[in-house]
Amino acid sequence: MLDPRVRNLAEVLVNYSTRVKKGDVVLITATGTECMPLVKEVYALCLARGAKYVEYSFHIPEIDRHFYNNGTKSQLSFFPQHKLDFMKQVTVYIAISGSPNSMVMANANQKNMIEWSRTTRPIVDWRVKNTRWVITRYPTHGAAQEAKMSLEEYEEYLFAACCIDWELESRKQEKLKRLMDRADMVRIKASDTDLSFSIGGLNGIKCDGRFNIPDGEVFTAPVRDSVEGYITYNCPTIYQGKEFNNIRLEFEHGQIVKATSPNMDKELNCILDTDKGARYIGEFAIGVNPNINEPMRNILFDEKIFGSIHFTPGQCYDECDNGNRSAVHWDMVKILKGDGEIWFDGVLIQKDGVFVHKDLEALNPKK
C-alpha cells in the first residue's frame, strides 16, 4: 500500500514547486532505484495536469563511479550535446535522489569528478536558468543510517520537513528578505567564529519551496572582497563523496587564505584550489525551516536547519550575483543554536538560534 505521505510530497513537487501545467515538457531524473514510488506518483500527476511529454531516467551511482575511476581524458571531455538539445525543450525539471549509499563516491577519482562537472556545466546552467526546477530526496536505509536514525524516524523527519504550508512560510520569510535588502554590514559571532562582511546592494532571496524540497532559507551574497575574519563550521559536510568535519576557514579581503579540516586538509584544499573563485564566498544564508533541527549529513536538509547559517565557497547565484565564478558551490553549515549571534548593521537579529528582532519573531518555531 502506498504511503499517503509519498502522494503528499508528489503534490508539493508538481502542484506547488514546479506548477506543472498543460503543454509542459517534464524531465524527471532519479538517483537510485529506491525512489521509484515517488517517481511513479510524480509521473502520474504530471500527466494528469496535462503535460504533453514526461520523460524519466534513473542514474545508478555505482555505474557513475566506474566512469569517474576509468574514464579517459577524451571521454571526460566529450560533451553530450543530445542532452543539452533535449534540455532546451524541457520546461519542468524534477530531480529525486534516493541513493542507498551516500559514500559511494568516497574513493572515486576526485579530479575526474571535477573535470566532468566542468564538461557538463552548460547543461546545468541551461536547466537552472530556463526551467521550473525542483530537487528533493527520498528516504532510504542508507540516508537514515547517515542521519543516525531508524528508517521510520527518518521518514517522519523527511516528510515533516517537506510537506508543510509553503505559502505561509513564504509570507513569513518576506520580512527577513526585506531586512536583508536594507542591510549593509553583517557580523556573525560564535565559538571560534568572528566574521564580518558587507551585503550592501545585494538583494535577499526567499527559498520557499520553489526549487528545493525541503526548503527554508533566505540567502544573499557578500560583497566579494569584503569578508574578514574566521569561521569554524560545526555541521558535517559531504562533498564529492568525502565527509569533512570542523572545517575552519580564515579570510582576508574576501579570500580564503587558510583552510583546515581534521585529517582532511589536503582534500579540502584540493577542492578550494579548483579555480580562483573557489576561495571566495558565493552565498550567505540563514536557515529557517521550522521542522529541521539537527544535522543529517545531507546538505539539502542541513542547510535549512533552523538556527543555522551557511557560508558557501564558490559560485554565486544569478539571482544574487556578487561576481564570483567557480565550478565549486559548497554549502558549509554553522549551527548557532545555543551559541551564536547574527548582527545586521549593529542590530542583533538572532541570538543562540532564535530570532529576537521583533519583525522576525513569527519565523521562530511554535513551542
pLDDT in tens, 8-39: 999 999 999 999 999 999 999 999 999 999 99
Average pLDDT of the chain to the nearest whole number: 95
Q: Which of 26, 316, 346, 342 is CA-nearest to residue 195?
A: 342
Tell me: the pLDDT tens digits for 90-113?
Answer: 999 999 999 788 778 888 998 999
pLDDT at 297: 82
Place of cell 514510488: 37
Q: Pairing between strand 248-252 and 255-260?
A: antiparallel
Give the separation between CA 301 and CA 93, rounded to whole angstroms: 20
For residues 112-127, average pLDDT: 93
In this predicted structure, the answer to whether residue 1 has a pLDDT above a threshold of 90 is no
Amino acid 143: pLDDT: 86
More confident residue, 80 or 105: 80
Say whether pLDDT at 248 is over 90: yes
pLDDT of residue 253: 98
Q: Domain locations in the chain?
A: 4-162, 166-363
Residue 336: per-residue pLDDT: 97
Q: Is residue 142 scored above 90 in pLDDT?
A: no
Q: What is the pLDDT of residues 264-304, one digit of tens each?
A: 999 999 999 999 999 999 999 999 999 999 888 888 899 99
321 C-beta neighbours (distance < 10 Å), count? 13
The pLDDT of residue 146: 81
The pLDDT value given to residue 171: 95
- What cell does 330 get? 559548497
State the pLDDT at residue 101: 81
3 state SS of 255: strand
Distance in angstroms (rounded) separating the CA atoms of residues 355 and 288: 10
Q: In this predicted model, what pLDDT tens digit does every residue of 165-203 receive, in sequence order?
A: 999 999 999 999 999 999 999 999 999 999 999 999 999
Average pLDDT over residues 231-259: 95
pLDDT of 102: 73
What does the pLDDT read at residue 228? Answer: 98
The CA radius of gyration of the chain, in Å to the nearest whole number, is 20
How would you label 288-300 residue by residue, b for 16+ Cβ within 10 Å and e otherwise?
bbbbbbebbbbbb
Does the pLDDT of residue 124 top 80, yes or no? Answer: yes
Which listed CATH number (3.40.50.970, 3.20.20.70, 3.40.1830.10, 3.30.70.20) goes with 4-162? 3.40.1830.10
Residue 84 has pLDDT above 90, yes or no: yes
Q: Calculate mean pLDDT across residues 70-99.
A: 96
